[in-house]
Structure 1
């Protein structure tokens, strides 16, 4: 007879209510295991995370929150009694990583089907090992040889925990994985939680949403084959009636996956909160052969007791030091110029050279030629996939233009869209089978293009080889890697029907592999992730790219709200922000050059305007503000961001402040939508300064009130505040504070 609940560890025959004291040797470790209570504990940066093996050999969460002392009591893991015949113990007991089986009704972490039709999976603890800041726990089905290695890592500086699973089939037959999460996060039981998440659409990304967590399930997801504009794989959960930027408990997480993904936020029958995230199970099926493994994405989680503002700053520090390819000390992003708005597809050597001269005159450090330089690319109907230099536009190749750009003391970047193909291309005519498709069905085009099936080895090799060749034969410092449509007809007819749904995993794995190989062979090349704007931004793609394009909407006023939402999840270091033409195509809104610059200077600054239309005053203002930006760039990109006044919800004002890591500099940006009834601009109170340090204030653009001192203590600037002289429509001012 099969027993689901084997005899528990002898030490647990008597109920244990507290965690035993930890030895002094263990206190120095970030991860340790108590053999008596069978509890695993992770401690770092004012965060404690604990879970253990309960009386039925399952992993059960114990605590996640503000750090507690090593000898503080923690409850021993123990299955909860059934709440009713409809709510059995397996359902109401929180679990670290649950298989679908044994009467489980909440969202499972893993669901499989065996060849004989069995779909029951119950995972029990087998063993564990601790390697420094990483813990690996092995669990196994109670009957069949399906093993899962649960990986945990913890960052000593931020307390952010990384979790992922490696599923291994040690049976003698294939199994079908139908759902595979990286982790389930469990929060303390309460009824006063609210959820924040990011939604959007093309040209309207990064809209911050907030709602109460109620019984039931909220699903955040993308079924589009990529991260998507519609949802982003980030969440934050706040506790209390009135949490704000700088106070309150916040649990947050981000999924590192650039394909279809899903995060479920669930409140169960007993008001327990569970957050489960990983591969999107929609249309998913991964046939795991005997002896093979499937590794899930990583799911990162963190905690702050100082509000969602500090949660963002913690996540920013983690991204800068542990995620970005140049970490732990990424270089500041250069000031760039991109030619798209000036020329669109009509690029050629003389026109680009003239733009490069103008860009260099205002202090630009990187010149990027956008779409139109390759194949028979005259518009968006043809040429994608044919990655040879168009000889009509560049008779002598790219070298003369690159040499020109270098002579102007700028490096050179180039736009590519490697994963796409136009039906009107030599590549498609030669390899129509290389795209995602279902045989005999229509092939839906988006922007007149189809998606190459990067899961295929021949397609992967083609993409890698043409990019490698391009970088090997040209002095290119930067690739703007675009991706301008989502998936449709995600078929892979070259493989067996049972294997076709693996495309959701293998495509993204091969994308990461290409990026990793290119970076290894061409270590000086930097890469931007662009996907019709912010359609592919996540902690997965950020391991291989240096910056992202948040939105095709470059309207300076709209960008205030877009950038505000973006920074809840991602560091300003990677947030490219362009100064483009006015009035802009998005809203036909007119704003000044200064307004557009200061809006963009809150991230990584770029210029995308048609410089051929600028007058002398525009060039003078741009040169002045680019020079000023270089003086605060390190602080803006690598410092601590404080969102002092939000531009959301119809706010007439927006204020951000960035403080350098050593607290020796701060940059303050203020914006006014419209003056009303002769009211003065609200007083601004800085944050994050050293109260005892004296800071001198200077204007980047605009004025403070006449009675503002030229220098004062950090305490003064934070407690007394400053009055900014702003009046009118779409006005702006910015200031820097430097320690004396």
Structure 2
């Protein structure tokens, strides 16, 4: 008899034998109003993904192909969370080394539980268990009905006598089926964040990852779009948009297998992070948040934006934000108390809600006059601030605005008292030279004493009635070694992020609604793991208005406008103040300019802009975003926000480096009510300037605006100019 045939029969029998003991349950459907993810238990008791896409009817779900029969010489397709070490031939979702050294894991269906919270949230937990070893894997799914978003994460635990070692631990494993797959990712560098790149995924494995530790999104962002069949547009095509909620090393793996199935594995990067898990403890992965659209990228973005605002993706997402004036580009680290008093007065004159004091306010033995000293010594510099932070808070209070302050509490300069007193608190390799970046090193947040130090630093400021924190981190982790962890260095990267979350959790327990900006030398911490503790993030240190169009456009794929801190600055003074202002108004408006140096007309213009922005901010912050013309497709860029009632909208038009006599083409608007009539008004005009747009002051039906459109530029598309239109239903 053919031995290969006998071996195949034995394998096949081994796979189907569990079915004799248990009848598979009905399909498990994780669903929103427009999305279905269907999991099915096979006759071999393994869990399979049998569908992901547009929502199916109950009758259609019953028609989905059942898993099996299986080829004895190849792994069964579409297993929902594939373990390593048994029959898997591709990238596994999980790999466990048992206490006895066995590196194989098998996962069989144990049970499923579903619960309902209100009329919007359905939570499903699928319990998988190794038939031989006491290892349990729980696949968690939270389906937000109205937002069409599914959040998924994995919990791993065991009851072996000794610890097991986890070497791979994806947050999820999802599969798509199409002839072609097109991946859109965000990448970049300092001052060049969130560049969009699109490429076709072909046979093999593509990995987007970070090994930077504290600034994971510096080069790549843990967010992506995958279009099926062909590249999606804003309004057409099937597309999955996903983002990982983790403020540390991440890994996004995309593998097209021999059957042309796309396997997606988002999660923590296991690089240098083999995780030793004691018995009866749980390892919980970060959440992977995704949505699915059959009508293009725009709808996918709107789904994520609504979820982020309404379901805790960002702190207080439905509440107002603060406009602010920052002192950095006016004074840098060289200032005096009277100078800051004057700037606080300028902030009040401008009409913003807050004055933000940036870097340079601390350090006495090692004064913080540049980035080479003082970091870690969080005492007000007595020369610059003889009356301390309290005086500045009082000055702001008298001016009827709030006072905020910059901190970078996770880092230290070698020229600091903290460095001298606590060398054991610093991440650095023994017997190796220190690797400095920006003249600083990283504190070890694995250490509870360091966590207390960071907490007490921020709490000490907030106890002085500071009303806003800009939390910066300008240093990645290199020379990675924790004296606190000792020999168990493989927990360093994960433990660092967990330590950061512990500190932020303590602060939020005491100050649940205090606004904070998440900064990492720009947009290097753009993720929903951190944003649940912050109201906004600093998108880039590059505030050149032309560059910011691209940077903010990229981040708006995944994050709502009220999370994108966008400031008017003098980075490129060749740009008009209006162009810089109109670009910043696309997100959460702020200023970083010397107000006193503005002309009288510029001051009047800026004061009116702040008033109008506060009036329109509910539309920009809470409305639906429609990206009308992309900067990647031409020189004329357009986008708009529409409120939920479709009564108010704000449209932005930007001309970039347009050519001589470049044709001006009407822009077809989106998201309006066809039956309503909208009055169009151009705002953000300099004093004495009249609008030259034909639509200004006119009234149109929503149907006309969406079918015919409007000119968002004047008769000639001039370089680096812009227009902002307010639409109001009559």
1:560 to 549, 554, 558: 549
After superposition, the C-alpha distances for 1:3-57 in whole angstroms (9 at most, x for unaligned) are: 8535344699xxxxxxxxxxxxxxxxxxxxxx86531012212111111111221
After superposition, the C-alpha distances for 1:49-72 in whole angstroms (9 at most, x for unaligned) are: 111111221110011111111222
Distance 1:489 1:675 in 2: 47
SS of aligned partner of 2:318:
coil
Q: Is the 8 A contact 2:680 2:696 kept in 1?
A: no
Distance 1:257 1:355 in 2: 37
Give the equivalent residue in structure 2 for 1:366. Answer: 354
Distance 2:406 2:719 in 1: 36
Distance 1:617 1:106 in 2: 64
Give the equivalent residue in structure 2 for 1:619. Answer: 603
After superposition, the C-alpha distances for 1:205-242 in whole angstroms (9 at most, x for unaligned) are: 00111111111111111111132221111111112335
- Residue 89 in 1 paired to residue 75 in 2? yes
Give the equivalent residue in structure 2 for 1:668. Answer: 651
Distance 1:74 1:479 in 2: 54
- Residue 340 in 1 paired to residue 323 in 2? no
After superposition, the C-alpha distances for 1:389-429 in whole angstroms (9 at most, x for unaligned) are: 11111111111211111222211110000100111111110
CA-based RMSD: 1.9
- Residue 694 in 1 paired to residue 677 in 2? yes
1:678 to 642, 647, 661: 661
Q: 1:222 to 1:710 in 2, by over 3 A?
A: same
Distance 1:285 1:348 in 2: 50
SS of aligned partner of 1:244:
coil
Distance 1:491 1:80 in 2: 50
Distance 1:208 1:80 in 2: 42
1:2-17 alignment, distance < 5 Å = 5=15, 7-9=17-19
Q: Which moved more, 1:415-424 or 1:157-166?
A: 157-166
1:525 to 514, 520, 524: 514
2:280 to 266, 291, 296: 291
Q: Is the 8 A contact 1:140 1:148 kept in 2?
A: yes
Distance 1:117 1:441 in 2: 33
Give the equivalent residue in structure 2 for 1:387. Answer: 378
- Residue 443 in 1 paired to residue 434 in 2? yes
Q: 1:80 to 1:381 in 2, by over 3 A?
A: farther
Displacement of 1:630 in angstroms is 1.7
Runs of 5+ unmatched residues, structure 1 = 13-34, 585-589
Distance 2:451 2:358 in 1: 23
Q: Is the 8 A contact 1:402 1:412 kept in 2?
A: yes
1:655 to 638, 650, 653: 638
Displacement of 1:360 in angstroms is 1.5
- Residue 159 in 1 paired to residue 171 in 2? no
2:106 to 115, 119, 122: 122
Give the equivalent residue in structure 2 for 1:233. Answer: 222
Displacement of 1:676 in angstroms is 3.2
Q: Which moved more, 1:516-525 or 1:652-661?
A: 516-525
Give the equivalent residue in structure 2 for 1:148. Answer: 137
Give the equivalent residue in structure 2 for 1:594. Answer: 578
After superposition, the C-alpha distances for 1:474-513 in whole angstroms (9 at most, x for unaligned) are: 111110000001001221233342x221122221112111
Q: Is the 8 A contact 1:575 1:603 kept in 2?
A: yes
Distance 2:566 2:198 in 1: 25
Distance 1:671 1:325 in 2: 28
Displacement of 1:612 in angstroms is 3.9
- Residue 491 in 1 paired to residue 491 in 2? no
1:641 to 602, 613, 625: 625
Q: 1:80 to 1:357 in 2, by over 3 A?
A: farther
Q: Is the 8 A contact 1:215 1:267 kept in 2?
A: yes
Displacement of 1:643 in angstroms is 0.9
Aligned length: 703
Q: Is the 8 A contact 1:337 1:359 kept in 2?
A: yes
Give the equivalent residue in structure 2 for 1:28. Answer: none
Runs of 5+ unmatched residues, structure 2 = 1-9, 117-121, 686-690
After superposition, the C-alpha distances for 1:582-601 in whole angstroms (9 at most, x for unaligned) are: 535xxxxx110000000000
Q: Is the 8 A contact 2:446 2:485 kept in 1?
A: no
After superposition, the C-alpha distances for 1:111-144 in whole angstroms (9 at most, x for unaligned) are: 1223433211111111222222111122122321
SS of aligned partner of 1:353:
helix
Distance 1:648 1:281 in 2: 34
Q: Which moved more, 1:704-713 or 1:115-124?
A: 704-713
Q: Is the 8 A contact 1:60 1:77 kept in 2?
A: no
Distance 2:259 2:513 in 1: 54
Give the equivalent residue in structure 1 for 2:115. Answer: 131
1:70-109 alignment, distance < 5 Å = 70-72=58-60, 73-79=62-68, 81-82=70-71, 85=73, 88-90=74-76, 93-109=77-93
Displacement of 1:574 in angstroms is 0.2
Q: Is the 8 A contact 2:362 2:379 kept in 1?
A: yes
2:561 to 556, 572, 590: 572
Distance 2:63 2:684 in 1: 54
Q: Is the 8 A contact 2:99 2:160 kept in 1?
A: no
- Residue 282 in 1 paired to residue 297 in 2? no
- Residue 733 in 1 paired to residue 729 in 2? no
Q: 1:119 to 1:706 in 2, by over 3 A?
A: closer
Displacement of 1:264 in angstroms is 0.3
Distance 1:729 1:325 in 2: 36
Q: 1:79 to 1:445 in 2, by over 3 A?
A: farther
Distance 1:684 1:97 in 2: 45
2:408 to 408, 412, 417: 417
Distance 2:21 2:649 in 1: 55
Q: Is the 8 A contact 2:566 2:590 kept in 1?
A: yes
Give the equivalent residue in structure 2 for 1:312. Answer: 301
Displacement of 1:541 in angstroms is 0.5
Q: Is the 8 A contact 1:325 1:546 kept in 2?
A: yes
SS of aligned partner of 2:526:
coil
1:167-566 alignment, distance < 5 Å = 167-187=156-176, 189-226=177-214, 227-241=216-230, 243-324=232-313, 326-327=315-316, 330-375=318-363, 376-472=367-463, 474-497=464-487, 499-566=488-555
Q: Is the 8 A contact 1:80 1:89 kept in 2?
A: no
